Structure 1
Amino acid sequence: MLQELIPFIDRHPILSVTWVTLLIGVILTFIKNYFSKVKEIIPTEAILMMNKQQALVVDIRAKEEYKKSHIIGSINVEKNNLKNNKLYELEKHKARPIIIVCAHGVSSLTFAKQLYKMDFQKIYSLKEGISGWNKANLPLAKGKKK
């Protein structure tokens, strides 16, 4: 097998470099996530935390998106509030587990990491956000809620 690998690399150097780069990227991502202080959780883990640990779900999407549909019991704290340092709503919940939710799980991870730097210790990000919640066919509330 190794005898076939060298000629393949000689014939396809760009493909080989691309493959190695992708492999390194995947490995580094796994290592980074493993040692991250903020963990990504799937919807079933979020439900368990909400029921057994009274985790607070914080939806950071825009108010309009939140009003259309949101996780039952969640509160809306727009991500701009972090930039403007308007997190008084969350300050009183520092000791509770907090699950950050966005549309697809990207902004929530960044927001959660920033909260961790602000001494919030039990911070989680919902993997794939509301879209992942929908894929799991879990209920969403409709209408305005604070």
Structure 2
Amino acid sequence: MNDVLHKLPEFASNHLALVALFVAILLALLGGEVMTLFRKWKTLTPAGLTQLINRDTPLIIDLSASADFEKAHVPGAKNVAMSQFDPETQKDLSKAKDLPVVLIDKDGRGVGKAANRLIKAGFQKVFVLDGGTYAWQTAQLPVAKGKK
């Protein structure tokens, strides 16, 4: 171990590009983790969503495309197109400011902006299903099919 520490400065000076790439990747990872700590919405696992459904009556909004929603969605979810998602003008949402609101999409990647919009509109309990409908299905939880 002591030998490695003695050779580290020589390695770093001979491989500046590798060291710079390592530092950039490390900073990106740390930045992502810090942003996760300070965002106001929380992520849920499929098991966490199941507990929330059993404990409360959350409003579950699926922002997937209609075709994806019809193939499979979390039971009880309402489909809203991302292009039509406006928390300040939709009637269902304006009534639910005190309820937990869970946002879902196909794979869990596209709902962060929608969650931020809900927070900005005054919603206090905003959640995102990590991994989306895909994670729900992978956990072998029941899915609904069709438009409702």
Instruction: With the length of structure 1 as denominator, give the TM-score of the two structures.
Output: 0.92
Q: How far apart are residue 83 of structure 1 and its match? A: 5.5
- CA contact 2:87–2:118 (8 Å) conserved in 1: no
Corresponding residue for residue 27 of structure 1: 30
Q: What is the distance in 1 between the residues matched to 2:135 and 2:125?
A: 21
| Cα RMSD for the two superposed structures | 1.6
Corresponding residue for residue 62 of structure 1: 65
Are positions 1:138 and 2:141 aligned together?
yes
Structure 1 residue ranges (4+ consecutive) displaced by more than 3 angstroms after TM superposition = 83-86
Q: What is the distance in 2 between the residues matched to 1:28 and 1:129?
A: 23
Q: How far apart are residue 58 of structure 1 and its match? A: 0.7
| Matched-pair identity in % | 29
Number of matched pairs: 145
Measured against aligned partners, the alpha-carbon deviations of 1:114-140 in whole angstroms (never above 9, x if no partner) come to 111111111011111111112211111
Corresponding residue for residue 119 of structure 2: 116
Corresponding residue for residue 5 of structure 2: 2
Q: How far apart are residue 79 of structure 1 and its match? A: 1.2
Q: How far apart are residue 49 of structure 1 and its match? A: 0.6
Structure of larger gyration radius: 2
Could you tell me which amino acid in structure 1 is paired with residue 71 of structure 2?
K
Q: What is the distance in 2 between the residues matched to 1:49 and 1:85?
A: 24
| Structure 1 counterpart of 2:56, from 53, 56, 60 | 53
Instruction: With the length of structure 2 as denominator, give the TM-score of the two structures.
Output: 0.90
Corresponding residue for residue 84 of structure 2: 81
